Amino acid sequence: MTELRFADVTVRYGRTTAVDGVSLLVPSGEIVGLVGESGSGKSTLARAAVGLAPLGGGRITMDGEPVPLRGRHRPLQMVFQDPYSSLDPRRTVGDSVAEAMPPGGSRAERRVEVQRLLELVHLDPARADAVPSRLSGGQRQRVALARALAARPRAVIADEITSALDVSVQGAVLNLVRELRRELGLSILFISHNLAVVRYVASRVVVLRGGRVVEQGPTAEVLTEPRHDYTRELLAAVPGRGARRSRT
Amino acid sequence: MPPASTRRWSRVARTPLALVAIALLVVVAALAVLGPVLWGADAEAVDTGNILAGPSARHWAGTDNLGRDIAARVLVASRLSVVLALLAVAIAVVVGLLLGTAPFLLGRGRAGRLVTAAVNIAVAFPGMLLALFFAVVFGVGATGAVMAIGLAGAPGFARLVQTLVSGVAARDFVAAARVAGVGRGRILVRHVLPNIAEPLVVNATIGAGTALLSFAGLSFLGLGVQSPSFDWGRLLYDGASALYLNPAAALVPGAAVLLAGLAFNLVGESVAKGLGVEGLGIEGLGVPVGSGRWVLPGRTAAPGPAHAAADAPDPADDVVLGVRDLAVSFRGPSGPVRPVRGVSFDVHRGESVGIVGESGCGKSLTALAVTRLLDDDARLEASRLHLLGTDLRAPQATADRRKLGTELAVVFQDPMTSLNPARRIGAQLAEVATHHQGMTRREAAARAVDRLDAVRIPDPGERARQYPHEFSGGMRQRAMIGMGLMGTPALIVADEPTTALDVTVQRQVLDLLSAVRDSDAVALLLISHDVAVVGEVCDRVLVMYAGRIVEDLPAAELATARHPYTRALVDAVPDMDTDLDEPLATIPGRPVDPADVPAGCAYAARCPLADARCRAQDPALVSDPHAPARRVACWHAGEPLPAERAVDLLVESP
C-alpha cells in the first residue's frame, strides 16, 4: 500500500521558519496523530504536502516518489478544518464531490460514483443535489471527506477536522475516520490539538513544537509514558484530566 | 436558488424603492427601444419659421436653432444615450475583469504584482480626468467618448474585482479545488466568479448611471457625440447656449439624464438589498448575536410558560443572579422566533455554574440577556431578572450602571474582537476604573498593571503598554479577565472563553478562572459546548436544549445524568479512558431549529426513549424527589437506554 514520508521538511515564510527539519512517517494503512499548539507548524506541514505552501527544503514522498503537485492525478488529499469554508456555497454537494474525481467517465457513471461516495460517508445519496447551507456542520464535514475520497487518494491529511464541530457530532466524524482507514486501507495524517481525540483514532503520535518534532512513537506509549516535558504539559491540559478545583 | 433567497427577493421587490426603480427602468428601456420609431420623424422635421421658440402647444419644450421639436429630440436621444452608456460599462466591466482577475491567474509571481500595482496607480487618477485624457487620445466623437468613459471606469472596477477575488481565493474551498488538481482558470470560472458575481452586478448597474452622467458631461463639453447625431448631453450643450431664450431646451434633456441615471442607480440599490450580505459569499442570517446596546422591552415582561418556574427554588439572600422565565425572541420572516423559551435558574455567591448544549440551543443568548448585551432587535421577557439586587428589566439609574460596571465581568470567545485593536492594553483596562470607579488616571494605570499581574501576565508593566495584536490568544483572554477584575466583580460571565484556544492555553485560562473564583468568592457563569470543560470547572451544570433547561445537576454527578440528552452529550466526548474498540456514541438527527420547535418534548425526535407522550406533552423541569438539588425535564428520566443501538450504516447521522 502507501506510506507517506516527510524527510527533513522545512517551510519558510519570509524570514520566519514555520517548519524546521521535520521528519515523520505515516506507515501504510495507519493513522498518525500530529499534535501541537497553534503556530507549532502542524497546518503548514500539511499545506506544504499538498502544494499550498512552498517547500523550503527536504522531501515529501509517497512510497519513495515525490508527491505529485501538478496535473489531475493527486494521490494525496487534504480535508480542511472548517466545513463552512471548505465547500463552495454556490455549488451542490454532488458538484463539489464530482469535481475532485479523476477525469473521464460518462455523466451517469460520475453520478453513480458520487452516490457511492456519499453512501461511504453515511450521507443520503439524495443529498447530492443539496447546497451546503442545507447541511449541518457534521454533514458538511462528511461531504468534505467524500470529496477527498473522490480523488481516489492513497493517503489523506485531516487538518483539525473536528475542531469546528459541536462535540455531539465530533464523535460521528471520528467513527467515520476510523472506519475509512479500516475499510479502504488509507494512510491518514490526523492533525489535532486534542489528545483524547488523537488517542481514539491514531496508532502513532508525533508531537510538534515550534516547527520541530519533540517526541514521536506509538500512541499508547507516548500518552502513558511521555518523555518530553511539552508532551506532559499537553496531557495535563486535556479537559476532565486536571485535578478538580477546590470548592468553597 | 434556495427558497429563503426567493422570499427575500420578493420582499425586496415589494418595497417602494424597488417599485420606483423598476418603473423608471421600464420607462427608460421603452423609450430607448420605441423613441426613434415613434418620434424619429418629428425630431428631424425642420421648421425654419419657428426657430428657437419657447414652449408652445405644438412644441411644449420649444424648438432648437433649426426649428426642430426639442421634446421629440429628447425622446429620440434616449436610445443613443442609453446604448452609449451600456457600451461604456461593458468596456469597463470586461477590462476590469481582465485586470482584476489577472493577479489570481498569474499567481504570486512578479507579473501578478505588476498588474496589481498598475491598477492601484490607475485608481488614483480621477475618472473624469482619465476620460478627458482618453477623449483626446481617441479623438472627439461618440467612439472616442465610449472608449474614454469605459477605460476610465475600468481601474475602479478592476480594484473591486481584485479585492473580491482575493477574499474568495483565501477560502478553503478554493484550496480544496487546487488540491484536487483543478486548474486556476477553471477555479476562477467555477468557484470564484459565481461567488463574487452579485456585488459586481450591483456595481455595474450603478456604473451605468455614472456612465450616463459622464457622457452628458463629455457631450456638454463638446467632446462627446457630434452633429448630426445627438444624445442627451449634446442636446444639453445646444440648449445651454439658448438658456435665456428658452430654459426648457436645457432643462428637459437634463431631466432625462437625471431620470435615467436615477433608474440605473435605484435598480443597483435594490439588487444590492435583494442580495444582502450573501453576495459576498458570507453565510447570512444566523442567529443574531452581537454586542449592540440592549433596548428594554416596551411592556413589562409577561409571565412565561407557567410550568417552567413552578419548581425553581425561591431566590435566597446570597443569589447573585436570579432568572425566572427568561425568554428571548426575534422577529422572523414568518412570525417571532424564540431561541430561548423560559429559562429559570439562580447563581449563588461564589458558585460556578456551567451552561452546555449544542450550537443554537440558546446558551449564548441566555448569557447575553443577563449581561444586557442582546442586539437591539431582540425582545426579552422574564418574570424576574435580578443581577446583584438590580432589576435588569427596569431602566437603570446611573448609580446602578456604575455598580454593574464594576461588579459584573464578561469574557467572550474571541478576545481579538472584544479588545480595541487601536488602544494599548493598559489604557483599555484603566478606562474601566476611571469610568466606573472614579479613579485618577495614574491610580487606574497602576491598578491595570496590578490586575495584569493578577492574571499571570509576565512583565505586566511592559505588557500594559502593548497593543492587543502583540499579545497571544491566551494572553488576550487573560487580559480580558483582568479587565473584569478591575472592579470587584461578584459575577463573571464567560461565553465559550476557551473555544478559540489551544488545549494548553485553555488549561491556563480555566485554571485562572478557577483561581479567581476561589480567592475572591466570585460567581462564574460559564457557557460552553464542551461537557468536559464545564464538568471540570463548574459546581453545577445546566443542560440546555432548544431554548429550555432540560437538566440541572451537580457537575460531579454528570456521569449519572438522568436526561437522555445529557447522557448522550457526556458519552459523545472521547476522553483518555474511552474504549478504543467501540465506536463513539453519537446523537442522531439535528438540533431543533428555533423557528420550528415541535410540540411535546423538543428532544423526542432524537431520543431513544421517546414515546407518544413525549411527542405530545412537553415535560416540565422538576426537582428530583430523591435529590432536591437536581432538576430534570423528561418523562423517562433515568430510565435505562435501549440496548446499544445497532450501528445502522444507512442511517444518516448528524
Residue B503 and residue A237: Cβ atoms within 8 Å? yes
CA distance B72 to B38: 9
CA–CA separation, A17 and A58 (whole Å): 13
- Under a CB-based contact definition with an 8 Å cutoff, are residues B370 and B387 in contact? yes
Which of A247 and A101 is assigned the larger pLDDT? A101
Which chain A residues are Cβ-neighbours of B514 within 8 angstroms? 245
Nearest C-alpha in A relative to B506: A237
Burial A41-58 (b: 16+ CB within 10 A, else e): bbbbbbbbbbbbbebeeb
Residue B573: closest CA among B524, B621, B525, B536: B536
Q: Say yes or no for a CB contact (<8 Å) between B650 and A169.
A: no
Distance CA B11, CA B18 (A): 10
Query: Distance (Å, rounded) from C-alpha A84 to C-alpha A88?
Result: 9
Question: What gap in Å lies between CA B512 and CA A133, rounded to an integer?
Answer: 38
Residue in B with minimal Cα distance to A135: B654
**Statement: residue B653 has pLDDT above 80:** no
Least confident of B43-52, B514-523, B576-585: B43-52
Q: Is B340 within 8 Å of B545 (Cβ atoms)?
A: no
What SS3 state is found at B29?
Answer: helix
As for the ipTM of the complex, it is: 0.87
Give the helix/strand (H/E) hosting B51. none
Please report, rounded to a whole number, the percentage of residues in chain B having pLDDT higher than 70: 90
Among residues B219, B646, B549, the alpha carbon closest in space to that of B354 is found at B549
- When pLDDT is cut at 50, 70 and 90, the band that residue B566 belongs to is very high
Question: Across the interface, which of A124, A136, A168 has its CB nearest the CB of B572?
Answer: A168
Lowest mean pLDDT among A13-17, A48-52, A84-88: A13-17
Q: Bigger pLDDT: B70 or B95?
A: B95
Instruction: Give chain A's domain count.
Output: 1
Please answer whether residues B543 and B587 qualify as being in contact, where contact means their C-beta atoms are separated by less than 8 angstroms: no
Q: Dig out the grid coordinates for A168 from the structure.
A: 455531539
The domain spans of chain B are 79-280, 307-422+467-632
Number of other residues whose CB lies within 10 A of the CB of residue B155: 24
pLDDT in tens, B518-553: 877 899 999 998 888 898 889 999 999 999 999 999
Encode pLDDT of B640-650 as tens digits.
Answer: 887 654 444 33
State which residues form the domain around A40: 4-91+154-209
Q: What is the mean pLDDT of chain A?
A: 88
Residue A41 at interface with chain B, using a CB cutoff of 8 Å: no
- How far is CA B476 from each of CA A209, B266, B412, rounded to the nearest angstrom? 21, 45, 11
Cell reading at B611: 414515546
CA A236 to CA A216: how far, in whole Å? 18
pLDDT per position as a tens digit, B138-183: 777 778 888 888 888 888 899 999 999 988 988 889 998 888 888 8
Please check whether residue A195 touches B, CB under 8 A: yes
Residue A192 lies in a domain: yes
Is residue A59 situated within a structural domain? yes
Which candidate, A66, A24, A26, A62, places its Cα nearest to that of A41?
A24
Residue B452 CB burial class (10 angstroms; 0-12, 13-18, ≥19): buried
What percentage of residues in chain B have a pLDDT greater than 90?
A: 17
Cell numbers that stand for B581 in this block: 474498540
Q: Which CATH superfamily is domain B79-280 in?
A: MetI-like (1.10.3720.10)
Residue A174 lies in a domain: yes
Write the pLDDT tens digit of every residue in A116-162.
999 888 888 888 998 888 888 888 888 999 999 999 999 999 998 98
Could you tell me if A34 and A45 are in contact, meaning their C-beta atoms sit under 8 angstroms apart? Answer: yes
| Chain-chain contact of A242 with B530 (C-beta, under 8 angstroms) | no
Please say whether the dihedral angle defined by the alpha carbons of residues A170, A171, A172 and A173, taken in this order, is positive or negative: positive
Q: Compute the distance between CA of residue B451 and CA of residue B193 in angstroms, rounded to an integer.
A: 50
Chain B CB contacts of A103 under 8 Å are: none
Within this chain, domains B79-280 and B307-422+467-632 share the same CATH topology = no
**SS3 label, residue B328:** strand
Yes or no: say if B90 and B268 are a contact pair by the CB < 8 Å rule: no
**Which of B268, B252, B260, B248 has the alpha carbon at shortest distance from B215?**
B260
Judge: A239–B530 Cβ closer than 8 Å, yes or no: yes
CB pairs under 8 A between A and B: 190
- Which are the contacts of A178, defined by CB distance < 8 A and separation ≥ 6? A31, A200, A201, B583
pLDDT in tens, B275-302: 653 433 333 333 333 333 332 333 333 3
Residue B149 near residue B159 (C-beta atoms within 8 A):
no
Distance CA A54, CA A74 (A): 17
- Comparing CB atoms, the residue among A70, A78, A199 nearest residue B576 is A199
What pLDDT sits at residue B290? 31
Q: Higher confidence at residue B489 or residue B9?
A: B489
Q: Which residues of B touch A151 (CB under 8 A)?
A: 180-181
Contact flag B171-A246 (C-beta cutoff 8 Å): no
In this prediction, residue B632 carries a pLDDT of: 93
> Which of A148, A147, A149, A201 lies closest to A170 in space, CA to CA?
A201
Interface of A with B in 152-171 (CB under 8 A): 166-171
Contact A194, A229 (CB under 8 A): no
Q: Look at residues B173, B169, B144, B154 and name the one whose alpha carbon lies nearest to residue B99.
A: B154
Assess whether pLDDT exceeds 80 at residue A225.
yes
The one-letter code for the residue type at B319 is: V
Contacts of A195 in chain B (CB under 8 A): 503, 576
A136/B contact by beta carbon, under 8 A: yes
User: Chain B contacts of A147, Cβ < 8 Å?
Assistant: 176, 180
Grid coordinates given for B229: 447625431
User: Best residue in A13, A74, A168 to probe B by mutation, most B CBs within 10 Å?
Assistant: A168
Range with the poorest average pLDDT among B208-212, B392-396, B620-624: B392-396
How far from the centroid of its chain's Cα atoms is residue B479's Cα? Answer: 27
The winner for highest mean pLDDT among B105-114, B264-273, B381-390 is B381-390
Q: CATH no. for residue A186?
A: 3.40.50.300
Q: Which range has the worst mean pLDDT, A3-7, A17-21, B373-377, B621-625?
A: B373-377
Smallest Cβ distance to B533: which of A199, A239, A247? A239
Q: Closest residue of B to A156, CA-based?
A: B179
pLDDT the model gives residue B553: 94
Residue among B481, B477, B556, B476 at smallest CA distance from B516: B481
A241 pLDDT band (50/70/90 cuts)?
low
Distances (CA, A) of B180 to A69, A191, B374: 10, 20, 43
Closest by CA position to B352, among listed B541, B511, B489, B631: B541
Written as one letter, the residue type at B568 is: A
Q: Which CATH class is domain B307-422+467-632?
A: alpha beta
Identity of the residue numbered B584: L
Interchain CB distance below 8 Å, B176 and A144: yes
**pLDDT confidence of residue B285:** 30
Q: Which residue has the cell 477584575?
A: B485
Most confident of B42-51, B206-215, B312-321, B555-564: B555-564
* Spatial separation of the C-alpha atoms in residues A226 and B318, rounded to whole Å: 46
CB B532 within 8 A of CB B573: yes
Q: Is the pLDDT of residue B259 over 60?
A: yes
Residue B243: its pLDDT value, please?
A: 76
CA B425 to each of CA A181, B237, B420, B448, B477: distance values in angstroms, whole numbers, following the listed order = 48, 61, 8, 9, 12
B273: pLDDT strictly greater than 80: no
The continuous run of DSSP H or E covering B306 comes out as: helix B306-310
* Residue A35, min C-alpha distance to chain B (Å): 11
Q: Is residue A16 predicted with pLDDT exceeding 60? A: yes
Segment B365-370 shows an average pLDDT of 89
The CA–CA distances, whole Å, from A108 to A114, B15, B158, B235, B284 equal 10, 45, 40, 61, 34
pLDDT at residue B324, as a whole number: 93
Is residue A123 domain-resident? Answer: no
Name every chain A residue with its beta carbon within 8 A of the beta carbon of B537: 245
What's the per-residue H, E or C state across chain A? Answer: CCCEEEEEEEEEECCEEEEEEEEEEECCCCEEEEECCCCCCHHHHHHHHCCCCCCCEEEEEECCEECCCCCCCCCEEEECCCCCCCCCCCCCHHHHHHHCCCCCCCHHHHHHHHHHHHHHCCCCHHHHHCCHHHCCHHHHHHHHHHHHHHCCCCEEEEECCCCCCCHHHHHHHHHHHHHHHHHHCCEEEEECCCHHHHHHHCCEEEEEECCEEEEEEEHHHHHHCCCCHHHHHHHHHCCCCCCCCCCC
Peptide bond connecting B339 to the previous residue in cis, omega within 30 degrees of 0:
no
A195 occurs within a structural domain: yes
